[in-house]
Amino acid sequence: MSTQDILKNASTLASYNVLLQVNNCICSSRSKGCVSDFLVRVSQVMFRVLTFLLNAFTLRFVSKELIGVVNVRLTLLYSTLVFLSREAFRRACLSGESGTNRSWRQVINLLWLTVPLGVFWAILLGCVWLWLLEVPDAQTVPHYGPSVVLFAFSGVQELLAEPLWVLAQAHMFVRLKVIAESLAMVAKCSVTVVLVVFARDWGLYIFSAAHLVYTGFLVVCYVVYFIHFLGSKEAEKKKFPLQHVRDLLPCKAKGEPLVDWTVARLTWSFFKQSFLKQILTEGERYVMTFLNVLSFGDQGIYDIVNNLGSMVARFIFLPIEESFYIFFAKVLERGRDIESQKKEDVAIAAEVLECLMKLVLVIGLIITVFGYAYSHLALDLYGGALLSSGSGPGLLRCYSCYVLLLAVNGVTECFVFAAMSQQEVDKYNLVMLALSVSFLVLSYMLTWWAGGVGFILANCLNMALRISHSLLFIHHYFQFSQWKPLRGLLPSPLLLVVLILSAVVTAVSEAAFCCNGGWLLRMLHICVGGVCLLFVLVAVLFTETRLVQFVRTQLLPRYRKKHT
């Protein structure tokens, strides 16, 4: 597969995970694949809209204490179990080190180790969550013990699809991941809504059952797809390396080791790093869970605001990071300098990296500017006085600044992790250790000083350090070459001026019109923001021409097809 094909597939994967529009595809009886594109986009709309409405719906039916236990305590159990069981395997098995000559039999055997590893973490973490942590009041939050077991079981259940997930990602099965996750989320939303309305006294059982349905649907979707795909004409046409369903099960092939030990050693390097990365990713939840710095109710409020603030990171930045990590890993040879790689591949990688950094920087700056003036209104519309009358607006304003750092860090780290050698990955573990320790200390200290805002401040400081490390790596990587991708972090002067003016105008508008007045004043405040956003977008179109061209040709399917 050529570099351009890899870029095309990575861009397709990113855009299908990001774009919400369903009106760009006009189907005809002869447009083969257009119907499937349309269904993918419809499923994306359902996925995001249902999730958003579900959170708003549950706020009006369950207590903030219940939300705090589910979204912080139990979700942390599930995410820790799954992350520690599979993240290292994903990073190693999707690496471009082995190239196209890899033995997928050995990769499959290695990936099945995630299941027993998941069982181990389920037992260990389940004991900690049941016996070492503070147990919520049974009257306010009923059925805590059984729910811990069910959430741990759901994590192990999801790991059954891990070999299939890696196969799908490595071979750019763009629609499978999107459709599987969308269907699973629709099922989870449906179960949650029904149980919240008709069985409210079930307490945590509501969310445990919904999560089991979610992970079960993921597994079923991947299994059904590969059962129909393997041995088909499409598989033969694509020269898929596996022919039978039994090839998906662990089995030793004659004349070769059980696993590829090069990939296994790389997995171990990532595995050691995964502990530290998980602490950085879920650090505030660990501090809340183990150090009891916030009550369950305050944890619920913080988590709701955190979910709202991170929507852009989850829906835009994370898909871009995941998709283009695969691109960089396939185009660049891990651990080799620029002189020893193909000049064409390095040139494309540098250009893509520069455009990606400029893209996420512009989006992050827009969110930061408009997030300050519209946080109070957004929370009032979403959750009513429960969110807008307390510390919620201040939390969301701080989080809008944090999103900018999240945006830059995601893109820079996806390049760094794809280009690092195994030795550099091991050295970076020490950096991650220092960041993890400093993050925990800062979180604890700043939370006692500033409450939930302290978590966001600690995240900002640590994210800034991670970005600094990645920028240094990228600078040294391209230091003696003609490419300077770090220029992507320099927005045009005109765009900066327009953003600053927009920040001042919207702040004045909030003070004058929002949010104690009626709906007419609120609509006026929204209109002011819409006009300012329009000026910002016009400035982007006229000053960031390379970025606009990149988005049109790589991330928008309608325009990309015209350029292929």
DSSP per-residue string spanning 111-129:
HTTHHHHHHHHHHHHHHII
- Taking alpha carbons only, the member of 9, 92, 51 closest to residue 184 is 51
Same domain membership, residue 307 and residue 222 = no
pLDDT at residue 556 greater than cutoff 90: no
Report whether 159 contacts 170 (CB < 8 A).
no
- Taking alpha carbons only, the member of 453, 314, 308, 307 closest to residue 381 is 308
Same domain membership, residue 212 and residue 106 = yes
Residue 184: give the domain boundaries: 63-280
Q: Give the pLDDT score at 482.
A: 82
Cα-Cα-Cα-Cα torsion 75, 77, 82, 84, nearest 10 degrees, comes to 130
Same domain membership, residue 104 and residue 10 = no
Task: Answer whether residue 382 is part of any domain.
Answer: yes
- Taking alpha carbons only, the member of 307, 303, 302, 305 closest to residue 450 is 302
- Annotate 379-396 with b (16+ C-beta within 10 A) or e (fewer): bbebbeebbbeebbbbbb
pLDDT at residue 403 greater than cutoff 80: yes
In one letter, which amino acid is 231? Answer: G
- For the segment 238-279, what is each residue's pLDDT rounded down to a tens digit? 778 887 888 888 877 666 777 778 888 888 888 877 777 787
- CA atoms of 30 and 11, how far apart (whole Å): 25
31 pLDDT band, cuts 50/70/90, is very low
Average pLDDT over residues 148-172: 92
pTM (predicted TM-score)? 0.70
Q: Give the pLDDT score at 157.
A: 96
Task: Answer whether residue 519 is part of any domain.
Answer: no
22 pLDDT band, cuts 50/70/90, is very low
Report whether 210 contacts 192 (CB < 8 A).
yes
The residue among 280, 307, 332 that closes a domain is: 280
**Category of 99 on φ-ψ map: left (φ > 0), alpha (ψ -120 to 50) or beta:** left
Q: Give the pLDDT score at 52.
A: 67
Lowest-confidence segment of 31-45, 214-228, 295-309 by average pLDDT: 31-45
Question: Crossing angle for the helix pair 493-513 and 343-383, nearest 10 degrees?
Answer: 10
Task: Answer whether residue 254 is part of any domain.
Answer: yes
Looking at the structure of the chain, the number of domains it has is: 2
- CA atoms of 168 and 479, how far apart (whole Å): 35
Same domain membership, residue 411 and residue 445 = yes
Same domain membership, residue 286 and residue 245 = no
- Taking alpha carbons only, the member of 310, 272, 276, 269 closest to residue 465 is 276
Q: Which residues contact 500 (CB under 8 A, 6 or more apart)?
A: none
Lowest-confidence segment of 34-43, 171-180, 412-421 by average pLDDT: 34-43
Q: Which residues contact 125 (CB under 8 A, 6 or more apart)?
A: 77, 80, 81, 152
Same domain membership, residue 243 and residue 306 = no
Task: Answer whether residue 470 is part of any domain.
Answer: yes
pLDDT at residue 383 greater than cutoff 90: no
361 pLDDT band, cuts 50/70/90, is very high
Q: What is the DSSP code (8-state) at residue 137?
A: P
The encoded tokens of residue 365 equal 């700056």
- CA atoms of 529 and 531, how far apart (whole Å): 5
The residue among 485, 508, 527 that closes a domain is: 485
Same domain membership, residue 319 and residue 195 = no
Q: Give the pLDDT score at 501.
A: 96
Task: Answer whether residue 517 is part of any domain.
Answer: no
Q: Number of C-alpha atoms within 13 angstroms, CB side, residue 274?
A: 20
62 pLDDT band, cuts 50/70/90, is confident
Task: Answer whether residue 492 is part of any domain.
Answer: no
Task: Answer whether residue 333 is part of any domain.
Answer: yes
Average pLDDT over residues 180-206: 87
Lowest-confidence segment of 360-364, 382-386, 452-456 by average pLDDT: 382-386
Task: Answer whether residue 493 is part of any domain.
Answer: no
Helix, strand and coil in the chain, % to nearest 5: 80, 0, 20
Q: Give the pLDDT score at 200.
A: 84
In what helix (H) or strand (E) does residue 163 lie, and over which residues does it extend? helix 162-170
The encoded tokens of residue 59 equal 């706020």
Average pLDDT over residues 20-36: 37
Same domain membership, residue 151 and residue 97 = yes
Same domain membership, residue 463 and residue 424 = yes
- Taking alpha carbons only, the member of 561, 498, 418, 564 closest to residue 33 is 561
Q: Number of C-alpha atoms within 13 angstroms, CB side, residue 292?
A: 5
The residue among 466, 485, 504 that closes a domain is: 485
Q: Give the pLDDT score at 15.
A: 53
Same domain membership, residue 363 and residue 243 = no
Same domain membership, residue 289 and residue 266 = no
Mean pLDDT of the chain: 81
Same domain membership, residue 47 and residue 90 = no
